[in-house]
Structure 1
Amino acid sequence: MTIKPKITPIYQTSVFKFDDLNELEQYFGEPGSRYLYSRNGNPNSDELADKVNELEGGAGAIATGSGMAAIFAAIAALCQAGDHVLCAADIYGGSSALLNAELSRMGIVVTYVPFEQLYDLAQFVQPTTRLLLAETISNPLLRVADLRRLAAECHVHGLKLVVDNTFASPVITRPLALGADIVLHSVTKYISGHSDVTAGVVVAADAEVAARLKQIGVFYGLTLSPMESWLAVRGLKTLRIRMREHSYNALVVAQFLAAHPRVRQVNYPGLETHPQHALALEQGAGQFGGMLSFLLEDDAEVVNGFMRRSQRFPFAPSLAGVDSSLSYPLGTSHRSLTVEQQAALGITVGLVRLSVGIEPVEELLADLAQALS
């Protein structure tokens, strides 16, 4: 009986069988022809990597156990001890914590570049500088990087551009097509989309870098499990339609908040008042994603009151699920920054980040209205 499943089965196995030594030699002689051990590769993790690679237009990709593992793999593929890394100052706090606390112990030095100086890197570049790490849409202030311009500036100085595309997803922006060298995602977020997977993926524009990523994934044991890979692929199938709904709802919510008397500022690229609105419109093909942040009064009790009253935006320090949620950057994602760094970035007591889901938007507006009342 021939079995032809429409959906790839879950290959929940740590090891694969060989009939004889000839098959073992085939594994080593013809890369990709067989599987040996799931740390080295598994049909499910390969399927996820291949599908994201196709969406991003890359030369090869790996799936990792988390978004943090993806960031580590991307930097490790391009750097060694003694190298210097540039990083956009306005970036996910976990990324800066990894650079500061761990990669520094491996002899990799980091310099942070203010957003306003990203396109003039000469003063930051050293002989050992290898790359710039930036985000398509920054977390949590929703600033939009001009990736084409940024890639050109990096390449003038012989640097690689590594882009965290988590907030945008490949539906909105494809960084490799704009000149980036590596693009990465926390698959936990939009790609999976249902708050039930922890995973990452890294895509390279160059085949040699992709091979190096594969090597790092195997040696460091970063490979994603079969079950998580299968769930992420299932989520990926609805990414395009989910991003459309996330973007629509977030724009309506941002417009509502911008007009509310208790809200001091709204950060969302879809608003015409956003400093990079025109760039986001062009680079994002008319969609702006489901993430936004806004400022309440800089009073912890005001923020606490809002959180307690809200029923449709539970306080959950992650993002991009089909269900809406809120987060508090000062106390979660950017907690490890110094007070001076937090202040310089504008991450204050009153800053709240919303991940707008795909629920009926009228229900979200009604909940925000009563929570802000």
Structure 2
Amino acid sequence: MDIKPKITPIYQSSVFKFEDLNELELYFGESGSRYLYSRNGNPNSDELADMVNTLEGGAGAVATGSGMAAIFAALLVCCQAGDHVLCAADIYGGSSSLIDKELSRMGISVTYVPFEQLYDLAQFVQPTTRLLLAETMSNPLLRVADLRRLADECHRLGLKLVVDNTFATPILTKPLSLGADLVLHSVTKYIAGHSDVTAGVVVAADPEIAARLKQMGVLYGLTLSPMESWLAVRGLKTLHLRMPAHSQNALTVANFLQEQPAVRAVYYPGLPDHPQHELAKQQGGGLFGGMMSILLADDAETVNRFMQRSQQFPFAPSLAGVDSSLSYPLGTSHRYLTPEQQTDLGITVGLVRLSVGIEPVEGLLADLQQALAAE
């Protein structure tokens, strides 16, 4: 029977069969000709990596078991013991914890660069500095980096630019086309899109770095499982439809929240008064994504009442699913920063991050209105 599935099957196998030694030699002699062991590669994880690589316009990619694994791979592919990295101060808390707690044990040091100084890196560079890690849109205050300008500054100083593009996705922004050297995603978020997958991906502009990434994936055991890969591919197929819907809903929600007395500030690049609004508009093709943060009173009970009353925005410390949710940076993603770092970044008791889904927006507005009415 000649079976030709329209959708790639789930290759739920840890190992693949060979007829004889000749096939084994073909495996090692012709890269990509066949599969041996799922840690080395699997049709499902390769399909996901290839699809994201195509979207980002890269030379090769590797799918990983989580977004944190993707950050780890992107940094380590460029660094070794004794090296120094620069990192935007406005960064996901997990990224800074990885560098501070784990990469430091490998002899890799870090300097954090304030957002206002990202385009003047010479003062932070050391002889062993290898790269800058930044985000397209920062977590959680949605500051937008000028990636072309940032890439030019990095390359002028002989550094690689590594961009976490999770918030924007390649639907809004393609960092490699703007000069970045590596781009990474927490696939868990928008790429998979349904809050049922934990995965990551790293894409390289240079074929040699891409090959090295794949080798690291094998040796460190970073490879994503077949089932998670299959689910992520299924989600990715609707990304081009979901991102405009997220963006449209989020802009409506942001405009609404600006008018609410209980909301002291709304951080969303789609608002005309956002400091990088014009940059975000140009770099995102007129879309601004589904993420925002709002500032309520700096009082834990006020925040608790808002969370308890909201029905459409459950407190779920992740983001970017088709269903809306909220998170609390001070107590989750940025919990392990020092109080000084939290204050410098504007992460206070009243800061709440909203992930706006693709539900009918009227229901979201009604829910927010009643949740804020208590304040």
For 1:227 and 1:302, locate their aligned partners in 2 and report how far apart those are by CA, in whole Å. 41
Q: What per-residue deviation string (whole Å, max 9, x for no partner) do you get for residues 283-305 of structure 1?
A: 00000000000100000000000
Q: How far apart are 1:42 and its partner, in Å? A: 0.2
What residue in structure 1 maps to residue 221 of structure 2?
Answer: 221
- Post-superposition CA distance 1:47-93 (Å, at most 9, x none): 00000000000000000000000000001100000000000000000
**Distance (whole Å) between structure 2 residues aligned to residue 152 and residue 85 of structure 1:** 17
Q: Who is 2:17 aligned against?
A: 17
Q: 3-state SS of the aligned residue for 2:68?
A: helix
Structure 2 counterpart of 1:359: 359
Say which SS state the counterpart of residue 363 (structure 2) adopts. helix
* Counterpart for residue 129 of structure 1: 129
Give how far 1:259 is off. 1.1
Q: What does residue range 218-297 of structure 1 map to in structure 2 within 5 Å?
A: 218-297=218-297
Distance (Å, rounded) in 2 between the aligned partners of 1:94 and 1:29: 39
Q: CA deviation at 1:102?
A: 0.2
SS across alignment from 2:77: helix
Q: Distance in 2 between matches of 1:267 and 1:12?
A: 43
AA partner of residue 218 (structure 2) = V
Residue 334 of structure 1 is matched in structure 2 by 334
Q: Which amino acid aligns with 1:121?
A: L
| Aligned equivalents of 2:264, 2:312: Cα separation in 1 | 21
Task: Quote the offset at 1:219 in angstroms.
Answer: 0.3
State the alpha-carbon separation in 1 of the partners of residues 241 and 31 from structure 2.
35
1:192 aligns with 2:192: yes
Amino acid at match of 2:174: R
CA distance in 1, matches of 2:215, 2:305: 49
**Helix, strand or coil at the partner of 2:163:** strand
Shift of 1:227: 0.2
Distance 2:54 2:329 in 1: 33
Report the CA distance between 1:110 and its aligned residue.
Answer: 0.5
What is the CA-CA distance between 1:326 and the residue it aligns to? Answer: 0.1
State the Cα RMSD in Å.
Answer: 0.3
Secondary structure, aligned partner of 1:68: helix
Distance 2:242 2:49 in 1: 20
Give me the whole-angstrom Cα distance separating, in 2, the residues matched to 1:360 and 1:258: 20
Corresponding residue for 1:176?
A: 176
TM-score (ref. length: structure 1) = 1.00
Partners of 1:85 and 1:259 in 2: how far apart?
Answer: 42
The reply on whether 1:37 has 2:29 as its aligned counterpart is: no
Counterpart secondary structure, 2:198: coil
Instruction: State the alpha-carbon separation in 1 of the partners of residues 120 and 294 from structure 2.
Output: 29
1:75 corresponding residue in structure 2? 75
Partner of 1:348: 348
Residue 153, structure 1, aligned to residue 127, structure 2: no
Q: Secondary structure at the residue paired with 1:303?
A: helix
**Separation (CA, whole Å) in 1 of partners of 2:279 and 2:254:** 18
Partner Cα separation in structure 1 for residue 353 and residue 163 of structure 2: 21
- Distance between the aligned counterparts of 1:286 and 1:189, measured in 2? 21
Q: Distance in 1 between matches of 2:135 and 2:90?
A: 8
> How much has 1:239 moved relative to structure 2?
0.2
Q: How many pairs are equivalent? A: 373
Structure 2 Cα separation of the partners of residues 369 and 29 of structure 1: 63
SS, match of residue 123 in structure 1: helix
Secondary structure of 1:122's counterpart equals: helix
- Give the secondary structure class of the aligned counterpart of 2:121: coil
For 1:91, the aligned partner's letter is I
Are 1:99 and 2:99 an aligned pair? yes
Q: 1:361, 1:113 → 2: CA distance?
A: 37
- Alpha-carbon distance in 1 for matches of 2:301, 2:4: 58
Q: Which amino acid aligns with 2:359?
A: E
**Does residue 368 of structure 1 match 2:357?**
no
**How far apart are residue 143 of structure 1 and its match?**
0.2
Pairing 1:141–2:153 present: no
SS class of match (1:34): coil
CA shift, 1:351, in A, is 0.2
Deviations, residues 115-172 of structure 1 (Å, cap 9, x unaligned): 0000000100000000000000000000000000000000000000000000000000
Distance in 1 of aligned mates of 2:352 and 2:125: 34
Q: Helix, strand or coil for the counterpart of 2:124?
A: coil
Percent of aligned positions that are identical:
82
User: By how many angstroms is 1:263 displaced?
Assistant: 0.5
**Equivalents in 2 of 1:259, 1:276: separation in Å?**
21
Per-residue CA deviation, residues 83-108 of structure 1 (Å, 9 max, x unaligned), is 00000000000000000000000000
Task: Tell me the secondary structure at the aligned position of residue 330 of structure 1.
Answer: coil
Structure 1 unaligned segments of length 5 or more: list them: none
Q: Deviations over 1:301-323 (max 9, x none)?
A: 00000000000000000000000
Match of 2:123, SS state, is coil
Residues in 2 aligned to 1:255 and 1:212: alpha-carbon distance in whole angstroms? 45
- 2:119 maps to 1:119: yes
Query: How many Å separate the matches in 1 of 2:33 and 2:264?
Result: 58
TM-score (norm 2): 0.99
Query: What one-letter code is carried by the residue in structure 1 that aligns with 2:321?
Result: G
Which amino acid counterpart does residue 172 of structure 1 have in structure 2? L
